[in-house]
Amino acid sequence: MKRTAALLLFCIALLGGPYSWAQGAKSPLRQAAVDTAFLLPVNGVKQYLEIKGASKTKPVLLFIHGGPSWPATPMNRKYSQALANDFIFVSWDQRNCGKSQTDTTVALTPGLYVEDAHVVTQFLKQQYHQRKIFVVGHSWGSLIGVNLVQKYPQDYAAYIGVGQLVNPGKSEMLARNHVVQQATLRKDTATLAALAKIPFSEAGGYPNGLAGLSRFRMVSDKYLASSEVAELPNPMTLYPDYQALDWMTPVLRTYKLLSSYMDGGKTNLLKQNTFQLPVYLLVGKYDYTTSAALAQQYFTAIKAPKKQLFLFEHSGHQPSWEEPALFHARLLQIAAANKTN
């Protein structure tokens, strides 16, 4: 699953404790708690929100998942339930994936997802009487998150980038260079030969799109993974309501439409480094999907009222699920430094 999670969370990018995350279960929390799931009309498409919180007075935390079209709700159920102690935690399935409706009539661009996220934000602010909310952007969701908070800074207490996408073409080139270096050191001629058959350019990405990226990850996984990073379960198998969904068709369709933003050419956030709100980057030391080195370079370039980088020593692309206790602690630290009320 490590290979699948790393690839698809980019390409595109539990039960237990005091909370019940099973769909339809009654909340054991006190009356003021939040425990709800529903479809919210968002720019012509009904989109799924799953919201948990110990109290309606807690700060709101919106999680913008990766992919595109790879819902994070199952993994959030499994690893992020404790966040509901301290936040109103919102897991959102973006349009065209998960439990959200599919609309094939509109042109997909990052800007459309930004506007979707802003509609969701406005609903959450009104529903929970918050001036500002916190937003986490993971992988593809970090591209949406950066554009969101730069366009609407007044709505957010802080931006938190996880598996921060900076320059997809450069990131993938760094990953390939790392694999070549490691395979050369180990005299792994089979991997080097296989890699040579997978064309790629930093400016144009993989000529055959997702198929090329998939092939690269399959060939290179042993050099991109680390024994420091725990194996994660396949989110498609975790819960019956998500097991029943078609995960791959939306990924393939959406990646084809958005590949120019994911492979290189159109995306370089080093040029978008000015923020009007606090910025925090949570970086997995072994992240080769969205390069940890590039994330640290981006952090250096960021201009913001305040900023901080947290390195997760035992994580790759998914610190929120690979080191959930530390992730929770960092979010508490961020919330304490940026009161919303």
What pLDDT does 220 receive? 87
If you average pLDDT over residues 29-51, what whole number do you get? Answer: 90
Per mean pLDDT, which of 1-10, 18-27, 178-187, 262-271 is the most reliable?
Answer: 178-187
Between these two residues, 310 and 218, which has the higher pLDDT value? 310
What pLDDT does 5 receive? 44
Between these two residues, 179 and 2, which has the higher pLDDT value? 179
> Where does the pLDDT of residue 265 fall: very low under 50, low under 70, confident under 90, or very high at 90 and above?
low
- Residue 257 CA to residue 261 CA, distance in Å, equals 9
The pLDDT of residue 23 is above 80: no
Whole-number average pLDDT of the chain: 88
The pLDDT of residue 13 is above 50: no
Tokens at 176, concatenated: 């390939």
If you average pLDDT over residues 259-282, what whole number do you get? Answer: 88
Between these two residues, 178 and 17, which has the higher pLDDT value? 178
The pairing of beta strand 133-138 with beta strand 60-64: parallel
Decide: residue 237, CB within 10 A, 0-12 exposed, 13-18 middle, 19+ buried: exposed
91 DSSP β-pair partners: 50, 63
- Residue 96 CA to residue 133 CA, distance in Å, equals 25
What pLDDT does 59 receive? 97
What pLDDT does 7 receive? 42
DSSP, res 99 = T
> Where does the pLDDT of residue 240 fall: very low under 50, low under 70, confident under 90, or very high at 90 and above?
very high
The pLDDT of residue 2 is above 50: no
What pLDDT does 38 receive? 98
β-sheet with 133-138: strand ranges across:
34-42, 45-53, 88-92, 60-64, 133-138, 156-162, 279-284, 307-312
Nearest to 241 by CA among 23, 12, 2: 23
The pLDDT of residue 19 is above 60: no
How do the domains of the chain map onto residue ranges? 2-169+231-337
The pLDDT of residue 30 is above 70: no
> Where does the pLDDT of residue 262 fall: very low under 50, low under 70, confident under 90, or very high at 90 and above?
confident
The pLDDT of residue 150 is above 80: yes
Locate all alpha helices (DSSP H) within 135-167, ordered by sequence: 140-151
pLDDT in tens, 317-336: 999 999 999 999 999 999 99
Query: Of 3.40.50.300, 3.40.50.1820, 3.40.50.10070, 3.40.50.2300, which CATH number belongs to 2-169+231-337?
Result: 3.40.50.1820
What pLDDT does 264 receive? 63
The pLDDT of residue 85 is above 80: yes
